[in-house]
Amino acid sequence: MTHSKSVCFICNDETKKITYLCKGCSSEYCYEHLGEHRHELNQDFEILTNNYNQFQQRINEQKQNPQNSSLIEKINQWENESIEKIQQIAKECRKMVIKYTKILTNDIGKKFLELIQQLKQIRKENQYNEIDLNHLKSKLTQMTEEFIDPSKISIQEDSQKISITKSMKSIYQKWKQYGITIVDGELHELSCPQGFFIDEKNSLFITNYDRDYILEWKLNEKIENIIARDRAENIKDALCYPTDVILDKQNCSLIIADYGNRRVIRYFYKEQLDKQTIIDDIDCYGLAMDKYGFLYISDWKKNEVRRWRQGEQNGIVVAGGNGKDDRLNQLNRPTFIFVDDEQSIYISDSDNHRVMKWKKDAKEGVIVAGGNGSGDGLHQLSSPQGVAVDSCGHIYVVDYDNNRLMQWYEGDNEGTIIIGEDGGGNESHQLDEPRGLAFDLDGNIYIGDTGNDRIQKFERIC
């Protein structure tokens, strides 16, 4: 440092005649502050020396333990994450194997019971020969081989992943093509039936859309009962164009989508109590309830499906809710819905001419039927309505504009026509603007044939 007559950089005192230039920072300092500046330089030097020593220590540590590098840490992190992913995939695969094994076991069990009945009948009649015995032996051998080695489920694996392949198409059921009219519009004042529900006692609850009430039809007794129909003095609280109905077993009540009044109501039909509005100000259409008692409602105007817990006011959006369009996170006039045991929601996305599946907590859905524009091809739907899914994962869709019922399997490019191959009409093998869909415990199909004002039953044959 050299002295000069410049002003001190720190105190800026012009009375101090002598200053000293720091060649490092090119600033002038008086004698008093020169010491402070020097002290700061010493502190910085000590810090730098300490940093050097720390870095030297890191080098020595790395030499002694090369496993501690950041790259090794990234590899370890990748390994742990990969193990977690593999474990999760393996867990899902185990669940799938258990699920499909149960399905196949139940299928074989049903066939075995039928075989036992044949055996008992033959023994009862005491008339059989070698042909009968050989037939029974062949059937038992076939079922035994299928039970020991279920070829319908296979495991595919490579160095990166493992997956479960299932071939459930061979378990496709079949139904009679000519239906039975269970409820006739002329005989039972049924007009434009929409959604309906079948309980375990084979009681059919039908929304009588144009007559604003719910019709209960006891299938075994062929007895009808009009419920949720208001007395004359209570017209202000009457139903208006109900579209769907489900049974809430926990509360022994019916839940009804009162479309025209923009509300969802609860009706204790056995006690004949007044209806209770449980959700108001909603453009409701389809209803579903999962095994945990959560209620699902499709809102055709907001293009969303909400899930409601008992007593909740607003519910939460579980599908759609992102405007009206055809992207995978959107819906366009959703109608009927179905919820499976895993809380996946199947939605008839009518104006997008497709059925969407939204898994629990998913941000978007996947197309499981249709999605190729409106049309009558096997790869198309036109304004789908009622939807249901069986234990094998087959998806059944009421194809409204094409007057048919179709069966799809997730991942298939085309569906299969189950009922209505001959087009629309009023014959027993035809449908006209069908909407509602339900199955009974025996696997028989029921369709709300709105254009013909009837409920058609198609019996399962295998």
CB 344 within 8 A of CB 359: yes
Tell me, yes or no, whether 52 lies in a domain: no
pLDDT digits (tens, 9 = 90+) for 293-339: 999 999 999 999 999 998 787 899 999 999 999 999 999 999 999 99
* Model confidence pTM above 0.85: no
Domains in the chain, number: 2
Least confident range from 129-133, 240-244, 458-462: namely 129-133
Residues 158 and 187 in one domain: no
What range defines the domain where residue 99 resides? 76-165
> What's the pLDDT at 29?
86
Residues 180 and 150 in one domain: no
Q: Is the pLDDT of residue 427 over 90?
A: yes
Q: Which of 105, 136, 165 represents a domain boundary (last residue)? A: 165
Residue 186 has, within 13 A of its CA and on its CB side, a CA count of: 2
Q: Is the pLDDT of residue 242 over 60?
A: yes
> Where residue 430 sits, what CATH number does that domain have?
2.120.10.30
**Which tokens go with 325?**
């369009």
Residues 259 and 358 in one domain: yes
Q: Identify the CA nearest to 377 among candidates 416, 336, 326.
A: 416
Tell me, yes or no, whether 53 lies in a domain: no
Tell me, yes or no, whether 367 lies in a domain: yes
Report DSSP letters for 19-79, one per residue.
EEEETTTTEEE-HHHHHHHHHHHHHHHHHHHHHHHHHHHHHHHHHH-GGGSHHHHHHHHHH
- Compute the average pLDDT of residues 86-110: 77
pLDDT digits (tens, 9 = 90+) for 34-65: 888 888 889 988 998 898 888 888 788 777 77
Q: Is the pLDDT of residue 132 over 70?
A: yes
Confidence of residue 156 (pLDDT cuts 50, 70, 90): low
Q: Which of 165, 189, 207 represents a domain boundary (last residue)? A: 165
Tell me, yes or no, whether 130 lies in a domain: yes
Tell me, yes or no, whether 48 lies in a domain: no
Q: Is the pLDDT of residue 233 over 50?
A: no
Q: Which of 142, 165, 188 represents a domain boundary (last residue)? A: 165
Residues 142 and 200 in one domain: no
Residues 216 and 108 in one domain: no
Residues 158 and 184 in one domain: no
Q: Is the pLDDT of residue 353 over 90?
A: yes
Least confident range from 88-102, 183-197, 400-414: namely 88-102
Q: Is the pLDDT of residue 222 over 60?
A: yes
Q: Is the pLDDT of residue 349 over 80?
A: yes
Q: Identify the CA nearest to 195 among candidates 186, 204, 203, 187.
A: 204
Residues 310 and 426 in one domain: yes
Residues 161 and 180 in one domain: no
Tell me, yes or no, whether 21 lies in a domain: no
Residues 135 and 209 in one domain: no
